[in-house]
Structure 1
Amino acid sequence: MSLPEFFLLAFSASWLVVTLVLLSGWTRMPVFRPAKRKPSLPLTVIIPVRNEEEGLPDLLADLDRQTYRHFEVIVADDQSTDRTPDLVRAFAAHATYPLTLLRLTDDPGTSPKKRAISQAIRRAAHDWIVTTDGDCRVGEHWLETLAGYQEQTGAALVAGPVTFLDRGTPADRLQIVEFASLVGTAMVSLFLGNPNMCNGANFSYSRKVFEAVNGFAGNENLASGDDEFLLHKIAAQFPVAFVKSREALVKTGAHASLWSFYQQRRRWASKWKHYNDWKIPALAIYVFCVHAALLLGIAGWVYGSVPGAVLLASLGLKWLGEWAFIGSVLAFFGQRKSIPWIGAVQVLYPFYVCFFGLAAQGSGYSWKGRKLR
């Protein structure tokens, strides 16, 4: 066996071990069962928005239907140029919960979303903060589940699961599968005591803890990371948790264009080089190497330097655990219709990882009509 063949098989075998560990963790991670006693934790829901006239009314209506009533909502508007502020004011006139429109002030050197959250936290009436995005949809038990989980666990930060809305298109199904792999990995990693990812669309924490770790200080200028950098800062000093519950699931719209998908994933990928914890960049490099080795193996097979049997063995090792893990996550999220699309994502994923791994080395992103860095 040549050295390239050995590395190809070794990377694929190691990936199988990783995915089986994730599958084992996912199976052992308990599903949250709420106590009979209703929670009483008061919440402040913060929704950073910019030009969200299309999706925000649905989210505000979802909040109107919550079974939990101990909450207020602050919509932090970042200079929207559409009807977003007017829609919030109109909804506030008949909302069954306190709804405040906060027009943001300039804060040079701070990224828009972090500015929105920081300014809204200063206006919050309650200590426990919940953040989501203006294009999300939530179930009627969402806030009750988050409040109940925090009261039962005493965690200083609670992350929740996120998936995409399924409109039945191939693009939606592919994105649902890809995103499930990320969210499932985030949930299991935190459960196993090694938090690495979360999503600001379903994120909650104590304001006192936010202030204790000095909020977003240290990465406030970065366009992304309002969730993950804060997770790592809080996890270093306080208990954190990820709630595994269908009632806590938040759904958001899949990207309608390749350009918007590209901009978001490039922004996400760019965060890895800014972490102080060496394990996070090391993990990113490992993931890149696994998929780069597979692409090199395919190229070697095309040019006759890698036997087909070796390539097939590598693909089998890599795909076996992936399919089992991602399929389990999708089933739990109620996305069974996307399970048949796992194979297509597995074929595309090595190209995806290597492309964004290299693209993230540049700077500058487009978000909500703005150029950010």
Structure 2
Amino acid sequence: MLLATVVVQLAYMAYYFWPFAAKRSPDAEPAPTHEQQHPVSVIVAARNALEHLRHLMPILLTQEYAEFEIILVDDRSDDDTGLYAQQLTQYYPNVRLVTVGSTPEGLAPKKYALTLGIKVARYPYLLFTDADCVPTTNQWLRHMARGFGSGADIVLGYGPYDEAPGLLNKLVRYETLLTGLQYLSFAERGNPYMGVGRNLAYTKATFLATKGFASHIRSLSGDDDLLVQDAVALGKRAAVVTHPAAQSVSEAPASWSQWWRQKRRHMSAGSKYRATDKARIGTFMLANGLFYLTTLGALFFSPVDWVPLAIAWFVRTSAILATYAGASRRLNDRQSVALLPVLDATYFLAYFLLTASLVLYRKPSRWK
């Protein structure tokens, strides 16, 4: 069993992860001529996000791009989010405000808010980020829009978390790197299955083709990954953009309970994935989990043959260190290589507990 789990993980490393990790993002700046062909509507849904918008809007407003607009969707805020957005519309002609007074019963609030923002978008290319995110540079829009230049319908970006002290932050950032490595490398191999709403773009035609969020409008999660699922099922093509200037950074969850709720919400969307994607992702996650479980079984419930056990651990650990370190360089999301084995074991233990909690207790979580 231990040998089988190592073989499966090495197969994923060799076919998906290492080709992605070893590749370098292009250093060349996007050609401005492409900008005329891809005018972009940047859409941000915000609820009680005044302080976040004060950090986000200055960098959005200074994006170097030929033609774009910013649509702020004030989703039922009871602070000064709407007032701040209204003031921006008076000074910046490319800023527009959509106000959501209430959400129809049974509909997911964020998806409803995004739908209203998309409905009024002037341009055929849509770029999304969250109110609590900040693009790393004023070239973010330019690099993300460059993904449309290849004829793609969807552009998948990467959204890391800010570095901070503490084990939780290291674990969250490791989990984000591993998730990014999965969905970006799978997409580069022709198997896109998800994106992250804090750095995702697609055409308005793609949104209309999937009938928006209709297939999952009552599900609280999935405004990003389930939209990608529906689009790919219709034959839409996805491009990957990993340049450091094309990233949008967020603050990591500040407490274990906050991270737990966030992960439960995100993982709940996985049950609606296509069967092939479930099998592809599930096989990798199961192989990692069983690797640790079979190791524990060998240590505590049977005589230990240390030589093959040590060889299996050395080969597997060396492979993940090399691959994950390479991915962190490509994505400019530097991780502590020495801590990777510890974080990997901790994450898959947490993943097992999260999966069990979703099976046993399905209380929904609402977005803030």
TM-score normalised by length of structure 1: 0.89
State the superposition RMSD in angstroms.
2.2
2:299 is equivalent to residue 305 of structure 1: no
User: 2:152 aligned with 1:155, yes or no?
Assistant: yes
Aligned residue identity for 1:263: R
* Structure 2 residue 79 is matched with structure 1 residue 85: no
Where does residue 20 of structure 1 map in the other structure? Answer: 14
Deviation of residue 354 (structure 1)? 1.0
Q: What SS is found at the alignment partner of 2:201?
A: strand
For the residue of structure 1 that corresponds to 2:65, the secondary structure is coil
**290-299 vs 176-185, which moves further:** 290-299
What's the CA shift string for 1:313-353, capped at 9, x where partnerless?
34334322222222112223333354443232122122022
Using the TM superposition, give the Cα deviation of residue 284 of structure 1 relative to its aligned residue in structure 2, in angstroms: 4.1
C-alpha distance in 2, partners of 1:105/1:206? 27
1:165 match: secondary structure: coil
3-state SS of 1:351 partner: helix
Contact 2:71/2:98 (CA < 8 Å) preserved in 1?
yes
Q: Is the 1:319–1:346 Cα contact (8 Å) retained in structure 2? A: no
Residue 291 (structure 1) aligns with: 288
The 2-side partners of 1:336 and 1:28 are apart by 16
Partner of 1:366, secondary structure, is coil
Could you say which residue in structure 2 is the equivalent of 1:192? 189
User: 2-side partners of 1:333 and 1:257: how far apart?
Assistant: 25
1:75 Cα deviation after fit: 1.5
Q: Compute the displacement of 1:96 (Å).
A: 6.6
- Structure 2 runs not aligned, ≥5 long: none
Q: Please list every run of 5 or more consecutive structure 1 residues that lacks an aligned counterpart in the other structure.
A: 1-6
- For residues 16-59 of structure 1, the C-alpha deviation after alignment (integer angstroms, 9 at most, x for no partner) is 22123211234347637423635122111111122222322111
5 Å matches for 1:82-231? 82-95=79-92, 97-138=94-135, 139-150=137-148, 152-231=149-228
1:243 aligns with 2:245: no
Question: Is the CA contact (8 Å cut-off) linking 1:20 and 1:325 kept in structure 2?
Answer: no
Match of 2:216, SS state, is coil
2:353 partner letter: F
Alpha-carbon distance between aligned partners in 2 of 1:210 and 1:10, rounded to the nearest angstrom: 41
CA distance in 2, matches of 1:104, 1:329: 43
Return the alpha-carbon distance in structure 2 between the equivalents of residues 295 and 359 of structure 1.
Answer: 19
How far apart in 2 are the matches of 1:313 and 1:304? 20
Which amino acid letter does the alignment assign opposite residue 170 of structure 2? R
Aligned 8 A contact 1:272 1:284 in 2: no
State the TM-score, normalizing by the size of structure 2: 0.90
Question: 1:46 and 2:43 equivalent?
Answer: yes
Q: Using the alignment, how far apart are the partners of 1:257 and 1:13 within structure 2?
A: 36
Q: Distance in 1 between matches of 2:21 and 2:86?
A: 42
Q: Residue type of the partner of 2:208?
A: E
State the 1:296 CA deviation. 2.5
- State the 1:69 CA deviation: 4.4
Question: Given residue 19 of structure 1, which amino acid in structure 2 is its aligned partner?
Answer: M
Identity across matched positions, percent: 23
Secondary structure at 1:76's aligned position in 2?
strand
Q: 1:272 to 1:149 in 2, by over 3 A?
A: closer
- How many Å separate the matches in 2 of 1:118 and 1:50? 15
**Contact between 2:98 and 2:117, CA under 8 Å: does it hold in 1?**
no
Q: CA deviation at 1:155?
A: 0.9
Sort the Cα spacing of 1:328 and 1:199 in 2 relative to 1 into closer, same or farther, 3 A: same
Question: Which moves more between the two structures, 325-334 or 31-40?
Answer: 31-40
| Farther off after superposition, 84-93 or 189-198 | 84-93
Q: How many residue pairs are counted as aligned between the two chains?
A: 361
User: Is the Cα–Cα contact under 8 Å of residues 125 and 203 in structure 2 kept in the other structure?
Assistant: yes
The residue number in structure 2 matching 1:61 is 58
1:110 CA displacement = 2.0
**The residue matched to 1:353 in structure 2 has which SS?**
helix
SS of residue paired to 1:54: helix
Deviations 1:212-253 (A, max 9, x none): 221112111111111111112222322221112122111111
Question: What secondary structure does 2:51 align onto?
Answer: coil
Q: Distance in 1 between matches of 2:66 and 2:60?
A: 9
Match of 2:160, SS?
strand
SS at match of 1:125: coil
